Amino acid sequence: MEANPKQMERRKFVGACLSTAAISAIPGGIALAQTTVRQRMEWQVFRTTTQYNSLLTAISSMKANTNAGDRGSWQFWANAHINYCPHGIAYFLAWHRGYLYHFERQLQIASGNSSLMLPYWDYYKSATMPAEFTNASTGNPLYEPSRAGTYVYDALTMAPFSSSIVNFQRGTSNAYEPALENAPHNPIHNLIGGYMAGMQSPRDPIFWLHHANVDRLWAAWVAAGGKRVPASGNSYWNGSFTYGPSLTLPRRQTYNTTGLNYTYPDLTLPRSFPPRAQAARIVQVQMQNGNVARPQVRGADLTPPRAIGQNRRSLGGARDVGLSEGSFTLSLPLEASSRPALQSVLDSARGGGGAPAGMPYRSAQLVLDNIRLTDAGRNGGYFYKIYVNLPAGGGDVNNLDESLLLGTIGPFEIASAEHHGNSPRLSYPLSRQLAASAGATDRVNISIVRLGGNGPQGQLIQIGEARVELSDEEIE
């Protein structure tokens, strides 16, 4: 994880941007007025076109520019991400759509090719990073030596494309934006690792193909119809996004891709996974302590139930939870006196509505507090899925019940939490999954399943406390 990357670069970035704004302005302004709608191609098509050499020229030119305050430099765009990007909060998708748009304009300037468009990597068709990015030949601007991995199959999921995901924005039930950010977005960052494991991820050229595909998946989800995205005239789209001291974009311009004069040739949602490398599957199964649905329960130093803050109460937890190459289950007994309140929260979740007025608690969540990355875990190449109340019977670890999935944890999620000035703590909504599980309210079984079998081993993440909380917040 970077050492305070936001503070490290911000002063130099802001000062330099103010002094070079006039020099680096795109000819004719930020060309929102252009009317030609161009297509962003999938990488395997893109690399056969003349745009491929233009991309290499642009990246080489930008990497050679050492003025981090100049939009023509590679570091400018990493600093824009460090200073302004929203992760785990509202507008994750829309901010990045505008970010790619501005970066694409800069690629056109750096290459001298006004037709150059960002390509995308469709990892639902091939989970292996394109060969052009793994070629370590001298002078290849697509190669990044810090990467921990190039195979992202374990990050893929169909959860965001379920028919039940009908709302869009964070804070609504069955919402697409947080689902897509949770996976495949975050785990892909984790599995590739290196710069991709933190907020300096745009320094790796594969970042741009990854986010172009995330943007395409959003466009495909909307094109599928029946989706409740706030209308273009809704106040949700008021205001502007910032990418630098003199680089902004109206939020309303990011409502769809045609508002930014581009589209994608393939707007179909994924319906199947790509072929899985058999060797990778064997390694993963070996890493899961055997071919079982719920990993073995591991002994834990339990923490007592207590008030955590105003209108927040821990029902019980475990301290000093270390994550390594293995998978395991924490069995957490819950405070007896609070079980009726928990049951009320779960009853509300089963009913599909919010908690009744006057209820002291409105949601349950799993909180991982005081998280620390070890040196071995910092560079990525792995992540963990977190499940609640998996069945104890036998089953394939590659086919766990995704309805019981709470989320993921890896170096990228930790870097994202720290990026916004938060304490190193991650929270996972628990009400809906707990209500759907077969578990009782006297204890909760939290299973932490390791993915990325070829990644680092040993102690990777240390969690000060993992606990189940009740809160008066409505958390979906």
Q: For residue 439, what pLDDT is reported?
A: 64
What is the model's pTM?
0.89
Confidence of residue 389 (pLDDT cuts 50, 70, 90): very high
pLDDT in tens, 12-22: 444 444 433 33
Distance separating alpha carbons of residues 125 and 358, to the nearest angstrom: 49
* pLDDT higher at 276 or 366: 366
**Amino acid (one-letter) located at 211:** H
For residue 316, list its beta bridge partners: 468
> In sequence order, which ranges of 276-429 are alpha helices (DSSP H)?
278-287, 339-351, 411-419
Distance (Å, whole) CA 446 – CA 300: 12
pLDDT digits (tens, 9 = 90+) for 8-51: 444 444 444 443 333 333 333 344 445 689 999 999 999 999 99
Instruction: Give the pLDDT confidence of 51-107 residue by residue, as tens digits.
Output: 999 999 999 999 999 999 999 999 999 999 999 999 999 999 999 999 999 999 999
Mean predicted confidence (pLDDT) in 118-145: 98
Which pLDDT value is given to residue 441?
73
Q: Residue 464: what residue type? A: G
pLDDT tens digits, one per residue of 328-344: 999 999 999 988 899 88
C-alpha dihedral sign at 101, 105, 111, 112:
positive
Q: Is the pLDDT of residue 155 over 60?
A: yes
Place of tokens 């939020």: 251
Which of 25-39, 366-380, 381-395, 414-428 is predicted with the least confidence, judged by mean pLDDT? 25-39
Distance from the Cα of residue 122 to its chain's centroid: 16
Tokens at 178, concatenated? 């947080």
> 164: burial class by Cβ within 10 Å (0-12, 13-18, 19+)?
exposed
Q: Could you give all domains of the chain from N- to C-terminal order, each with its CATH number?
A: 5-263 (1.10.1280.10), 284-471 (no CATH)
| Higher pLDDT among residues 347 and 420, named by residue | 347
Residue 421 CB partners (closer than 8 Å, separation 6+): none
pLDDT tens readout for residues 169-208? 998 889 999 999 999 999 999 999 999 999 999 999 999 9
In contact, 427 and 367? CB cutoff 8 Å: yes
CA 228 to chain CA centroid, nearest Å: 22
SS3 196: helix
The pLDDT assigned to 385 comes to 96
Question: HEC profile for 10-44?
Answer: HHHHHHHHHHHHHHHCCCCCCCCCCCCCEECCEHH
- The pLDDT, as a whole number, for residue 287 is 40
Can you give the pLDDT at residue 310? 87
